Amino acid sequence: MTYSYNFEVREQTLLTPQWVANQKSFLDWDTQPASFKHYPHFCYRVRLSDHPSLQWLLHTRFINDERVVAHKPYRRLNVPSAGNLHPIEIYVQLRNIPGILSGIYHVDVLSMELVMIAEIAGEGLEPYLGMETRFSGAIVMLSLVPFRSSWKYGLRSWRYLYLDLGHQIAALSTSVRHFGLELTKMSPKEDLNRFMGMGEEEFIAAVYGIGESTARPVKPLHKPMMRVQPTDYSESLPLLISTLQTIPPYISLPTTHGYEKYESFNLSRRSAREFDPNQMSDDTIMELMCLNIPDSLEIIPVVLQAHTMQCGVYLNGKCAVNGNFISEILHLLLEQRFIAGANMVVLIYAENFCASSHIEAGIYAQELYMACEYHEVGCSGIGAFYDEEASLWSDNALLYAVAIGGKV
């Protein structure tokens, strides 16, 4: 039964005081697995910036900040990620794109190159997506690399993998629409992973098309593609791996907003590490509360500090329970001190505790990140919370929270 299965995952990934105590013990960053997959040097490569028709891809996932921390490169991307661990890779099948050999490519985010893994002509990935004819354009595949996240978060990473995936799906959708194109949802079949050369270290979790089906028939690939490990080493958590083997039945297409300044938002976006509550207007609080909410989610904004509007729990844009809830919210969110300066915390609940609702929550949070850029306020996704305490605010399951406040 789906519900009890998801119930088991929830129980196994609960955040408890003991878990938090273990996390505070020493984490050796020298043992962090590689954050970027690298195909061998002999693979044919194409610079993404040389192809203006692929600008949407260039702006979907890229490094927008690089520095050295503890003698190691510390890279941050246009999309946020729990712990900055980035357990996602992107692949594209490109067919009939002018100036590019039709093939299946890995998007190498470190070098911003497309790395060809297989050339295609009469063959392709279409049969593994339920299509009998060639798809002209791009097929984008997003994969999850669980060990990058489970290395730090153990089983709790199940949640962060899907939240991170939601952020990346929303970024893809916004980017594609910004460049005047449309996404189509595709449904991967079981064999796709194997033919992409993936074992138990990486799983295709979402596939989208940008283009159209043609009348020309297509054959399946005659053999799986080369296998390259996505991390330099890995350790397996059997429960995590078994739950990732099924592709989440995430069927709705994200309806992300467009912003004229999307490209500069994407370049400068950062998660807030501190807030100045005086720098956020009440109008902005109200506008962010009224963002389109997907049916699968229950959104509970809690206003912590404002100029003239009432503080408290809001429902449909109106204050339902008036009060100062800073200490309750701080406790719920593991006493992460910087949240005390936030103007509002948006709690994202869902009736169904499943992969799809986590993806939806990630998409919704990415929308909030972009809206905050537009309103010039700061925000941060918060995936660390005491699950049991969250029942104070709703009967549903808390999946994610976003702290929002004035920029310092």
Task: Kindly identify the residues of this chain, within the stretch 375-404, that bind ligand FMN according to CB under 6 A.
Answer: 380-384
> Cβ of 245: how many Cβ atoms within 10 Å?
10
Least spacing, CB of residue 362 vs ligand FMN, in Å: 7
Determine the distance from the C-alpha atom of residue 227 to the mean position of all C-alpha atoms in its chain, rounded to a whole number.
24
Q: Give the x/- contact pattern for ligand FMN in 198-237, rule: CB under 6 A.
A: ----------------------------------------
| Min dist. Cβ of residue 84 to ligand FMN (A) | 4
Structure tokens at 50: 């040389």
Q: Whose Cβ is closer to ligand FMN: residue 81's or residue 266's? A: 81
Contacts of 328-336 spanning 24+ positions with Cβ under 8 A: 328/392, 329/302, 329/304, 331/386, 331/389, 332/385, 332/386, 332/389, 332/390, 332/392, 332/401, 333/382, 333/384, 333/385, 333/401, 333/403, 334/15, 334/20, 334/384, 334/385, 334/386, 336/382, 336/384
318 vs 337 by CB, closer to ligand FMN = 337
Query: What track of x and - describes contact with ligand FMN for positions 267 through 306 (by CB under 6 A)?
Result: ---xx-----------------------------------
* DSSP class of 300: E
C-beta of 19: minimal distance to ligand FMN in Å?
Answer: 13
Residues in region 301-340 near ligand FMN by CB under 6 A? 336
Q: State the minimum distance, in angstroms, from the CB of residue 24 to ligand FMN.
A: 14
Nearest to 270 by CA among 364, 367, 372, 174: 372
DSSP β-bridge partners for residue 381: 402
Measured between alpha carbons, how far is 210 from 181 in angstroms, rounded to an integer? 7
Burial of 257: CB neighbours in 10 Å, binned 0-12, 13-18, 19+: middle
Question: Applying CB under 6 A, which part among 73-81, 97-105, 253-261, 300-308 lies near ligand FMN?
Answer: 73-81
CB closer to ligand FMN, 137 vs 341? 341
Nearer to ligand FMN, 139 or 169 (CB): 169
**Cβ at position 69, least distance to ligand FMN in Å:** 11
- The answer to the question of residue 152 lying near ligand FMN (CB under 6 A) is no
Name the minimum Å distance from CB 115 to ligand FMN: 24
Number of residues that bind ligand FMN (CB under 6 A): 18
* Contact region with ligand FMN (CB under 6 A), list: 35-43, 75-83, 142-150, 220-228: 75-83
The dihedral over CA atoms of 81, 232, 75, 144, expressed in degrees to the nearest 10, equals -30
- Told to check if 81 binds ligand FMN by CB under 6 A, we report yes
Beta strand 312-315 with 133-144 is unpaired
Closest by CA position to 125, among listed 139, 115, 114, 136: 139
d(CA 66, CA 11): 37
Segment near ligand FMN (CB under 6 A); pick from 77-85, 96-104, 206-214, 321-329: 77-85
CB atoms within 10 A of CB 164: 30
Minimal distance in Å, beta carbon 334 to ligand FMN? 7
Q: Is 58 helix (H, G, I), strand (E, B) or coil?
A: helix
| Smallest separation (angstroms) from ligand FMN to the CB of 166 | 8
Interface of this chain with ligand FMN, residues 156 to 185, rule: CB under 6 A? 160, 163-164, 167
| Under rule CB under 6 A, residue 407 binds ligand FMN | no
Rounded-to-integer distance, Cα 312 and Cα 300, Å = 10
- Determine, following the binding rule CB under 6 A, whether residue 87 of this chain makes contact with ligand FMN: no
Nearest approach, Cβ of residue 126 and ligand FMN (Å): 32
| Nearest residue (CB) to ligand FMN, 163 versus 340 | 163
- Residue 257 interacts with ligand FMN (CB under 6 A): yes or no: no
Classify residue 89 as left (phi > 0), alpha (psi -120 to 50) or beta.
beta
Cβ proximity to ligand FMN: between 170 and 192 the closer is: 170
Burial of 76 (0-12, 13-18, 19+ CB in 10 A): middle
Report the C-alpha dihedral over residues 301, 347, 178, 213, rounded to 10 degrees.
-130
Instruction: Give the binding site for ligand FMN (CB under 6 A).
Output: 76, 80-84, 160, 163-164, 167, 270-271, 336, 380-384
